[in-house]
Chain A
Amino acid sequence: MAACAGACDGCSAGDASHAIGDRRLDIARSVCMKCKEEAAVALANQTEPMCAQCLRSSILGKFKTVLNTHALVSAQDRILLGFSGGPSSRVALEFLAEIRSEALASRALNAPGFGLGVVFIDEGLAIGTSREERSRAVDVVEKIVSRLELPLVVRRLEEVFDDDNQEDCATQLKNLLDSVKDGTGKEDIVEILRMELLEQVAKKEGYTKLVLGLSTTRIAARVVSATAKGQGFALAAGVQYVDSRWHAPVVLPLRDCATKELALLCHFFHLETLFLRNFSTLVEPSASTINSLCSNFVFTLREDNSSRDHTIVRTAGKLTPFSFNHLAPSNGDSRSMRKRRGVKTELSNSGSNMEALCVLCRAPVDGRSQLEDDPRYCRSCTLQIVDDSKVCNLLPRHIQARRAGQAWMKSQIEEFLL
């Protein structure tokens, strides 16, 4: 029995498909239900056999529909894509680059399309990845992004500590992670720090929107895990197309696409992806963190019926979204106008609509049910992360400095009040 090791790009699926191309129509049992011409290669949208090209069109169509229907991207925007290397964000990268190129080409000499940049967060220190592996990962990401001729920012997760000394940042991150005993809490704090760092990058580099490649499948897993963590009050917040709790509002254009379809798209169109270890990849099916159990649960549900993740997200979508789940009309423009004219006014969303947010994960906090807890944190963070006051003191300084609830939200928008 022979095994070919090493340079497997030489015998990749691409080569295999050349070899079997002419057998394709013999083998196929169905014809694509969209174009009715090509052989179907994948079962998508739950029950639709599709050829690779129609699968691509279908996903691109959903992507563009989300952006257009919710007016998520304007020509004045500078979009930052959070690229993890995985198939979902790889597809988002490909499509954003394509949409932008089309916009630039059509406008010719007039105003250009939206600005687009990419950010990659190296979380290797949190996981214990070797320096070589981290460096290799960054090289692959740089190669992928440079081919699309887009600016790339690479940050290490420990930089969220905003210390000039890199060693100190690394130590602070290690200390914080060591102090969080709960496995779910560790995963959650890494995610919280990632979002903090993404926000910092967007703010520093002048981006107006942050796009993340969250798929239906992953959002469904989040819905289930949020339920298990007691985040009922905040549940609606993280499952919408838009989340304006961040300096650059977060946009999820792949919310209606299942991970399977995105992975297949990357395979059929040879979109290079990067597998990175993270906490969940180190974990067995029987592992006990809430996040991995819920993720496995959603994938298991999909086995018999691949629409189940869509159903979960649709059900959660029935919950009333928060005020920050909409984009303020002409967001930045009205702010800059107020500054220029020197008019003393408040943002339309301030005051009574402003929900109190957990200073750590930004979940809306239901003050009525948290009378005895520290008002700065939501119940979930209190139980999973900051149950030990020692942990609070190890958080990044700028998070520690945040005041409770409404006071903090107000400070976020203070620069815009005159």
Chain B
Amino acid sequence: MWAHSRGGLELLFGSVKCHEVDLDSNEITVEKLLVWIRENLLKERQEMFLKGKSVRPGVLVLINDYDWELMGHLEAPIKDKDSVVFISTLHGG
């Protein structure tokens, strides 16, 4: 699967906007993906992206261009070849 970051978030991932993620299983939840990102990708300042088990308020999550709020939020499933986009709206002007 691919994880994309937008809206300034890419700066937290070493200025890389797109990461290919290899999963051990065929399907995981967003919650598990966030754990993986925290452990493997976040170069700095985790609190700018994560808050507890979820993303920081103001960060949008899209799975295959679907709002994760329609897909089950943290429980939303992510499969092989899916694309997840994180967009920060904290500075939306």
Stretch at the interface among A2-10, A112-120, A172-180, A233-241: A2-10
Q: Across the A-B interface, give the 7 residue pairs with the lowest CB-CB distance, nearest first.
A: A16-B83, A259-B92, A8-B17, A299-B57, A299-B58, A275-B8, A8-B18
Chain A hits for B82, CB < 8 A:
20
Q: Given the known A-B contacts A280-B91, A296-B57, are A13 and B70 also in contact in the complex, defined by CB atoms under 8 Å?
A: no
Chain B hits for A29, CB < 8 A:
70-71
Interface-central residue, B4, B48, B83, B92, by most chain A CB under 10 Å: B92
CB of B65 within 8 A of CB of A41, answer yes
Chain A hits for B48, CB < 8 A:
284-285
A398 adjacent to chain B (CB < 8 Å): no
CB of B91 within 8 A of CB of A41, answer no
Chain A hits for B6, CB < 8 A:
267, 275
Q: Smallest distance from the beta carbon of A305 to chain B beta carbons, Å?
A: 12
CB of B93 within 8 A of CB of A213, answer yes
Residues of B near any A CB (own CB < 8 A)? 2, 4, 6-8, 16-22, 40-41, 45, 47-48, 51, 56-58, 60, 62, 64-67, 69-71, 81-83, 85, 87-93
> CA separation between A300 and B56, bound complex, in Å?
8
Q: Given the known A-B contacts A8-B16, A259-B89, are A27 and B66 also in contact in the complex, defined by CB atoms under 8 Å?
A: yes
Chain A: residues with Cβ within 8 Å of the partner, total of 59
Q: Smallest distance from the beta carbon of A1 to chain B beta carbons, Å?
A: 5
Chain A hits for B71, CB < 8 A:
27, 29
Give 25 CB contacts A-B under 8 Å.
Answer: A1-B20, A1-B22, A3-B20, A4-B19, A8-B4, A16-B83, A19-B81, A20-B65, A20-B81, A27-B66, A28-B70, A42-B66, A87-B89, A214-B93, A267-B85, A275-B6, A275-B91, A276-B91, A281-B8, A284-B45, A285-B56, A286-B47, A296-B58, A299-B58, A299-B89
CB of A86 within 8 A of CB of B91, answer yes
* Bitwise interface map of A from 263 to 299 toward B, beta carbon under 8 Å scored 1, else 0: 1100110000101111011001110000000011001
* Bitwise interface map of A from 4 to 26 toward B, beta carbon under 8 Å scored 1, else 0: 11101001110011011001100
Chain B hits for A286, CB < 8 A:
47
Q: Given the known A-B contacts A42-B70, A263-B87, A284-B47, are A87 and B16 also in contact in the complex, defined by CB atoms under 8 Å?
A: no
